[in-house]
Amino acid sequence: MSEQPDRPHCRDPFDRAFLELALAGGADALITGDDALLSLAPAFPVPILSPDAARDVVGGGPRRV
């Protein structure tokens, strides 16, 4: 499978499905704790956010444990 222009190279082939789903589904964001996916954030057209960053965006307040 060749890389497409709006899809950066993903070092973990199992993560590619998440990128494709985010694009195909018109996601507002991809929320993940996966370092391989988070490293692609600057080059991917859909925002890739950590759970903490997503919480900040939606104003969820402090994390409850």
22-49 pLDDT, tens per residue?
Answer: 999 999 999 999 999 999 999 999 999 9
Bigger pLDDT: 20 vs 2: 20
Structural domain of 34: 28-60
Note whether residue 20 is domain-resident. Answer: no
Pick from 49, 3, 52: nearest CA to 22: 49
Note whether residue 33 is domain-resident. Answer: yes
Note whether residue 37 is domain-resident. Answer: yes
pTM above threshold 0.85 = no
Note whether residue 54 is domain-resident. Answer: yes
Q: Locate all alpha helices (DSSP H) within the chain, ordered by sequence.
A: 16-24, 35-38, 51-58
| Structural domains in the chain (count) | 1
Radius of gyration of the chain (CA): 13
Note whether residue 47 is domain-resident. Answer: yes
